[in-house]
């Protein structure tokens, strides 16, 4: 009787694992990287394994699972990885997890807001909007979502997530590191671009509450923050006056992202709220 979290060594997976353990669940944490969550009382089982390897421990864990959170994947829109790597980890691994999970077992899969291709003219992206995925990452997440069609699965589309443990390739992490080292902060496109930023603690709380509600759901706040505001928060949190270096953005990066949160509010009765400065301070205090 256990809850599986795939990608448990990652930014969201670790936060979700820790939350589920705090709520009293027995968690089977699966990742090909070592998992840093710890428990002395046997409530946590760690399986260091690739989801596409034929590991018997993984197969048995899925047979016994009472719910499955599939967060493993290869995020990031900018990094260059080996050919087919993103497809492998986002689509093929997702397909394997769907095959391993018994029908009827509550399941949540992490897609991404990138499938929308950005908010059009400042209008929040709604779950029923036509998808306009741009770039390999967004296309792989759209393909992952198609695999879920006809299954009783909760597909979540998180917008930008921030807080302690943020991935090292993400903007706030990079800017905090640059500000501390008195290096210029690299900004893609323009300071006026906006992002809907959600606190990692609230993102994983939403996931824990949403599992068991099949369908597609945005995870965001419905409020945009400009990159200018984000940089001001980094300056404040680090006590620095950073120099900004604006460089051209990739065509795959939308100017703005913004979640329509009505479905989330209907399902849960609440939506995440972000106090940007508090969140950036917390991330800065947690260290790299």
CA-to-CA distance for 103 and 85, rounded, in angstroms?
28
| Residue 145: other Cβ atoms inside 10 A | 20
Residue 114 CB, shortest distance to ligand NAD, in Å, is 7
Nearer to ligand NAD, 198 or 238 (CB): 198
User: Which string of b and e fits 48-74 if b means at least 16 CB within 10 Å?
Assistant: ebbbeeeeeebeebbeebebbbbbbbb
Residue 230 CB, shortest distance to ligand NAD, in Å, is 13
Nearer to ligand NAD, 116 or 179 (CB): 116
By beta-carbon distance, which residue lies closest to ligand NAD? 10
Output the furthest CA–CA distance in the chain (Å, rounded).
54
Nearer to ligand NAD, 32 or 120 (CB): 32
Nearer to ligand NAD, 161 or 227 (CB): 161
For the record, the structure tokens of 208 come out as 């824990």
Residue 5 CB, shortest distance to ligand NAD, in Å, is 10
Nearer to ligand NAD, 31 or 256 (CB): 31
Residue 9 CB, shortest distance to ligand NAD, in Å, is 4
Residue 95 CB, shortest distance to ligand NAD, in Å, is 11
Radius of gyration of the chain (CA): 18
Q: What is the DSSP letter of 250?
A: P
- Do residues 126 and 265 touch, judged by C-beta distance below 8 A? no
Residues of this chain that bind ligand NAD (CB under 6 A): 7, 9-13, 31-33, 50-52, 71-75, 89, 93, 110, 112, 158, 160-161, 167
């Amino acid at each position: 009787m256990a809850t599986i979290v795939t990608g448990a060594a990652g930014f969201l997976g670790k936060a979700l694992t820790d939350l589920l353990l705090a709520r009293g669940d027995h968690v089977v944490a699966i990742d090909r990287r070592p998992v840093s969550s710890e428990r002395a009382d046997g409530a946590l089982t760690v399986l260091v394994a690739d989801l596409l390897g034929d590991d018997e421990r993984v197969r048995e864990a899925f047979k016994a699972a009472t719910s499955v959170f599939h967060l493993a994947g290869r995020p990031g829109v900018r990094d260059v990885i080996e050919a087919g790597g993103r497809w492998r980890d986002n689509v093929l691994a997702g397909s394997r997890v769907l095959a391993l999970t018994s029908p009827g077992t509550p399941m949540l899969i992490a897609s991404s807001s990138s499938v929308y291709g950005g908010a059009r003219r400042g209008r929040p992206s709604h779950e029923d909007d036509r998808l306009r995925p741009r770039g390999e990452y967004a296309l792989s997440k759209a393909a992952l979502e198609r695999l879920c069609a006809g299954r009783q699965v909760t597909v979540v589309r998180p917008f930008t997530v921030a807080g302690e443990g943020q991935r090292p390739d993400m903007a706030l992490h990079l800017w905090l590191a640059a500000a501390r080292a008195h290096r210029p902060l690299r900004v893609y496109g323009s300071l006026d671009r906006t992002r809907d930023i959600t606190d990692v603690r609230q993102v994983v709380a939403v996931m824990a509450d949403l599992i068991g509600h099949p369908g597609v759901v945005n995870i965001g706040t419905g409020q945009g923050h400009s990159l200018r505001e984000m940089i001001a928060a980094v300056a404040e949190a680090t006590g620095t006056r950073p120099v900004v270096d604006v460089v051209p953005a990739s065509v795959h990066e939308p100017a703005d992202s913004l979640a329509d949160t009505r479905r989330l509010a209907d399902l849960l009765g609440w939506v995440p709220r972000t106090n940007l400065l508090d969140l950036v301070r917390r991330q800065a205090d947690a260290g790299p």
